[in-house]
Structure 1
Amino acid sequence: VYCTNSEEGCEWQGTINETGTSIDTHLNSCPYQLVPCTNGCGEKIKRSLLKTHLTDNCTKRMVNCQYCNRRSTHQLITSRNHLLECPDLPIQCSNEGCNEKIPRHSLASHNEACPKAIIPCEYNTVGCNKKMKREEQESHNKESMEVHLQLTDGRLQMTKEKLQEATETIKSLKTTLEQKNQLTASLVFKISQFTNKKEEDEKWYSPGFYTSPGGYKMSLSVYPNEDGDDGKTTYISCYISLMAGEYDDILEWPFQGEVTIELLNQLEDRNHKKGVIRFDDSTPDDCKERVGEGLSSNSWGRPKFISHKELDQHNSFSHFQYLKDDSLYLRVSVKVTSRAKSWLNCKN
């Protein structure tokens, strides 16, 4: 019998049943027999050409990219996708007149120095709108020196004007902020059954209140019987005590400001009895410093706020009356001059 690949050039002959020389045995080594690619590319190649196929022609043979040295199959390395992302593939500079080819990863840095790149004038920030090749910048600067000086001077004057405007704006904002920091709180407290408190010498304390949202906490106390110059208990006194507050950590200490206490005329909105308690450098430290949780500072205030005699007066001609229906009304207004630590303020 003849080899089935005889038409391809195989000259093998043998007997079908001859031991060791059967057609099947021959075909397992026949150089003309078609065999599948061992790389799995799908092609069938003559056995004699398989080695060459695996090293030179197979699309799945392993190769290195000639630019970035990445190793993968020939099919992937030569694909459009790889060529579009290969970082070392030489790319022609896009600037007209530049013939350089630059690795893709260096294109940006090349363009920043390429003499053919179109760039704006160095004085574009002051108004020169000329664009030119980078290599022409120096000659343009020499030719346009006077124009550039005029533009620079004009921009400088404009900058000075804007700086002045900004300074005025900052000054205005600072003033507004200072006014905002000098917040004023106003509260009204009622003291009922005052006659009984006076007879029993019972002191009255307001609940704690804040000077403003996020401000200092304090309370008002009223003593119905305070000694006068004659040693007799002929005055009502009013005092302010600082208390531990929720926002003490973001406030400046010691507390500084003014607390205005008004004993309200209950007949009309005028002729109120007013007294101002100032917290400043002359105030004792233990009356204006921060206190611990559950504590209050020493009291500071007006020991002779109003005399019993003046309190009991009821002048129909002047139309004022402080004590009515055995009740007093006290209005407390606070103007804060110490400030919060603005960088710690929280906006809720």
Structure 2
Amino acid sequence: MAKFSGGYDYDFVDQPPKSLECSICLLTPRDSMVISCCGNHFCDPCIGRIKSNRKPCPLCNSPDFTTLLHKGVAREVNALRVYCPKKAQSCNWQGELGQVDHHLNPTANSRGCGFVMIECKYKCREKFERRAIAFHEADNCANRPMEVQVAFLARKLEMLATENREIKNKVTALEAENTLLKQQMEARPLPPVPPFYFTVYNYRQYKKDNCTIMSPPFYSHPKGYKMSLQIYPNGSNTGTNTHMSVYAFIMRGEFDDTLQWPFTGRVTVDIYSYKLKKWTQIQVFNFKEYPIERGYDCVISDGSGYHLFFPQDQVETEYMFKNGSYTFVCFRVNRVELV
């Protein structure tokens, strides 16, 4: 708005032409008036003050003049595009200057600037921005009529009922999901537990390729520790190139949160002798010497086993079954004792 009773001090979208400027306030003229003495135009408030104080024309110094509304200039001014005076409060409206008053003070059926301060219609002496006044009058004003308060409570009860229905629907969906998960858990096959059998097919080829062999995972007991065997046909550490090395490892399992850590149990591993036609207990892997705090997603480094598990020539002669070009070695995890 104008800083004083003169021209328009709006933020214009495009700078108005100099020809429209009031020569007194140097602003875009409000109610532009043309004067009889020299034909120049001024703001009605500006030239009105000159005339009421009986001063001469500020441009031609004529002591006597009359004024008349300059309708052509007024139309040009009203057509200039301006931003809302509440732009600093984030109102993004822009339009013709002639529509500003309607934007700031709309009719009952029109939507105006939401950032104009309005007094509560229930005379509580509070003022709110237009965008918030309806909420105050309907929900918060202490002076609002009883029927308005009742309507507010009815709306709130309806909202609570809707929220309650949504919560019930969510609970029903979660219960159904939980039931489905339980059914899936019950339908899943139980994980393998000792005695756990593991046959290495093409053992001689693994040895030739110097590959490490890892068994499928098994569990120490139902809902127990997840484990795996790892076999080095060419040995490891002190057994490299002379012995088969075998280790047992703890892996990350789905029941770990319910188990006691560290794991300090014993794992008994057997190997089948095709020469003697019977299982031979090889070693008991003692995790008390290598306590495991927690398993890994895959075998990394922590485990218990023996570098000198079996001499390679003894594996070839006693524990490897040959069928043509295929060779087999069978292992059995006989039991896992929890210590």
User: Which TM-score applies when normalising by structure 1?
Assistant: 0.38
User: Which TM-score applies when normalising by structure 2?
Assistant: 0.39
Higher gyration radius (CA): 1
